[in-house]
Amino acid sequence: MRDLLTLIKQRQSSRCAFDPDRPVPKKALEDILEAACWAPTAHNMQNFEIVVVDDKKLLEKIREIHFPVSETFIQENYLQLSFSEEELKRKKTGVLSTMFPKSWLHPGLIAEHSSLNETDQPFLERHHQLLSCPLMVFLLYDPKRRAPGSDGDFLGVMSLGCVLENMWLMAASLAIGFHVVSALSGSSPEAELKRILHIPNHLSLAIAFRLGYPLASTSYLRVRRDIDNVTHHNGF
C-alpha cells in the first residue's frame, strides 16, 4: 500500500520535450491501455475510445494545430498563478507564472483576438518544441454510452477522469513521461484534430496527452493542500 501511495505522489506532469526517436515500448503502451480499460466507469458504461498516434507525419500535423487562447482562460488562469515559489508554497494550489508567456500574465493586456502577440514568439517556438514526442494518446468521450440517469452525464465525465488517472499512474510506474495537452480540447483545435485523425462526429476529445522519455529534467515545485484543509469529519 505504501508503494501505491509513493507512486501516486511521484506521478507528475512532464512539461518538456520527449525524445521523438525513442519510442514507448510496445509492452508499456499495452499496459497503459489495459490500465485504461480496467478503470471504473459509471454503470460500467466504458464511455470512451482511445486513439494512439505514433506516425511522425501525423504527430507533426498535430503539433502544427493552432489553438487560440480565450480571454476567459487568461483571466481565470491569472487568478490561480503564483509569481514565486514562496507564494506557491504558501497558497498550495495553482501553478507558477513561469509556465506561461508574458502576455498572459496581465489580464488587462490581452493581445488582439486573444491570441499570442509577437513578444511571445519565443514561447510559441518553445511550445512547439515542447510538444515533441514519439506518441500521443487521445481519450475520446462517447456520449452515446451515457451513464443512466446522470444529469449532463456528470458521472460519465467523472469516469473519464478515472480512465486518465489509471493511464497516468501506469505510465508513472513505467517511468514514462506524461503530459496532458488540454489546449487541443478547445472547439477549433478539436475540429482540426478530428479531421486529421478521422474521428467520427459523435465522439468528442476528452483529453489529449503526450507520452515519451523526457529530454530534460522534469522536476519542479509541486504542492498540495494539507489533508486537514481538505477533509471535514462528520459534517462540513
Ligand X SMILES: Cc1cc2nc3c(=O)[nH]c(=O)nc-3n(C[C@H](O)[C@H](O)[C@H](O)COP(=O)(O)O)c2cc1C
Binding site for ligand X (CB under 6 A): 12-13, 15, 95, 179-183, 207, 222
Cβ closer to ligand X: 108 or 152?
152
Residue 210's beta-bridge partner residues?
Answer: 136, 179
Cell 504527430, residue? 59
The least CB distance from residue 114 to ligand X, in Å, is: 17
Please state the closest distance from residue 147 (CB atom) to ligand X, in A. 18
The minimum distance between CB 58 and ligand X, in angstroms, equals: 20
Q: What is the torsional sign of CA 23, 28, 34, 39?
A: negative
Kindly write down the DSSP assignment for every residue of 31-60, as one continuous string.
HHHHHHHTS--GGG---EEEEEE--HHHHH
Q: Which is nearer to ligand X, 88 or 147 (CB)?
A: 88
The answer to whether the beta carbons of residues 187 and 113 sit under 8 Å apart is no
d(CA 10, CA 13): 10
Contacts of 180 (CB under 8 A, 6+ apart): 13, 164, 207, 208, 209
Minimum gap (Å) between residue 8 Cβ and ligand X: 10
Nearer to ligand X, 111 or 223 (CB): 223
Sheet holding 48-53, edge to edge: 48-53, 135-141, 204-212, 177-180
Q: Which is nearer to ligand X, 30 or 191 (CB)?
A: 191
Return phi, psi of residue 234, to 5°. Answer: 55, 35
Complex with ligand X: residue 40 or 148, whichever CB lies closer: 40
Whichever of 180 and 203 has its CB closer to ligand X, that residue is 180
Q: Which three cell numbers stand for residue 214?
A: 523526457
In whole angstroms, the minimum distance from the beta carbon of 138 to ligand X comes to 13
Give min distance, CB of 223 to ligand X, in A: 9
